[in-house]
Structure 1
Amino acid sequence: MATGQAPFNPVPAMRPYPPVEHPVVVIGPQYLAQYPVELAVNSDFKVSDINGTLIFQVKSKLLSLHDRRFLKDAAGNTLVNLRQKIRTMHGRWEAFRGESKEKSDLLFTAKKSKLFQFKTELDVFLGNNLGEVPDFKVKEGYSKSSCSILLGDSNTMLAQVHGRHNLAIMPNVDYAFIVALVVMILKGSNPDDHGDAAINGIKVINGVIDGFASSA
């Protein structure tokens, strides 16, 4: 018998992500914020905040044995240079401070977790980590245009990439480091080109699959 009351519909539970207990600093503490940071990468490989203010920019050089990308600040100073070792089984990337190539300035490395994957998963190691347990993970999301960046093997969320080029970064997480990771997995070998390769390059997870698979 109808009572005139709407049936009880439970609200779907949100998946809780534990907060970052300690600041995550890789490139520098000046890139920590006490609030969530939202950034976007446009077709010119420029990174802006929600107000359209330029925060970072990316330049690239394609050499015979290395794909090199440079993460620069708004003033054009190089923060990190990233080098992909093309002829490696796992498509290994190395990130060095500034313009350096010295091992003492190695900030982090990244490689596919497994040689063959149905969903892309990357292991990220800090420069001083010589073990087998990664410091961070990049995992493909429910769609191929999204991914999550996690702290080690935990489910502590550091950042999410969604909509192919939008970044949502947790408080107290080095957002320059997150952008550097995303720069590695952006498809398109030369962001200085102004043709279709650059315009179509903002396909984050597809970039991981294509770029790393072609290096395997």
Structure 2
Amino acid sequence: MLLEIPFALFDTRGESTEEKDLMFTVKRSSMIQLKTKLHVFLATNPKENVCDFKVEGSWLERSCIIYSGESNTILAQMHKKHNVESVFLGKDKFMVTVYPNVVYAFVVALIAILDGINHDYDE
């Protein structure tokens, strides 16, 4: 069974749940995973035979990599920044590297979804 999370393009009030506004769908590659693996399907890919993007991450390590489809082409990466503040004060900071020609908002949305999935399992 796959976890499916639709992500819609919201109207100006942020309330659209219409199928026509769907931008992409995110599915876990399996329900039991040591490292999180998500498959992302754009709305223009309704058959979902091959994912358009892949997210692999370790929430314990606070890191993830976003790939183009089933390739090894990296589009963005996130990792926890280790510094004095994070170690002694418990304030986590993250570094996100977004490669050229990649939409920042899309990367942030995927990271937010990954965070939401992992917080659901923490509770």
- TM-score normalised by the chain length of structure 1: 0.44
Distance in 2 of aligned mates of 1:180 and 1:174: 10
1:132 corresponds, among 49, 66, 73, to 49
Greater RCO, CA 8 A, separation 6+: 1
**Structure 2 counterpart of 1:181:** 110
Amino acid at match of 2:114: I
After superposition, what is the alpha-carbon deviation per residue over 1:126-163, rounded to whole angstroms, capped at 9, x for unaligned? Answer: 0121222110000025x631010000010110000111
Distance in 2 of aligned mates of 1:132 and 1:144: 30
1:167 corresponds to 2:101: no
Paired-residue identity, %? 40
2:19 corresponds, among 100, 103, 113, to 103
What is the root-mean-square deviation in Å for CA atoms of aligned residues?
Answer: 2.2
Give 1:177 deviation, angstroms: 0.6
1:90 corresponds to 2:2: yes
Distance in 2 of aligned mates of 1:108 and 1:157: 19
- Which aligned pairs between 1:199-210 and structure 2 lie closer than 5 A? 208-210=117-119
After superposition, what is the alpha-carbon deviation per residue over 1:161-195, rounded to whole angstroms, capped at 9, x for unaligned? Answer: 111632110011011111111121224xxxxxxxx
- Which aligned pairs between 1:121-160 and structure 2 lie closer than 5 A? 121-130=37-46, 131-140=48-57, 144-160=61-77
Runs of 4+, deviation exceeding 4 Å: none
Contact 2:3 2:31 in 1 (8 A): no
Greater Rg by CA: 1
**Structure 1 counterpart of 2:36:** 120
How many residues of Structure 1 are paired with residues of Structure 2 in the alignment?
105
Amino acid at match of 2:41: F
Q: Which runs of 5+ in 2 are unaligned?
A: 81-92
Q: Which runs of 5+ in 1 are unaligned?
A: 1-88, 188-207
- TM-score normalised by the chain length of structure 2: 0.74
Amino acid at match of 1:144: E
Contact 2:78 2:94 in 1 (8 A): yes
SS of the residue 2:27 aligns to = strand
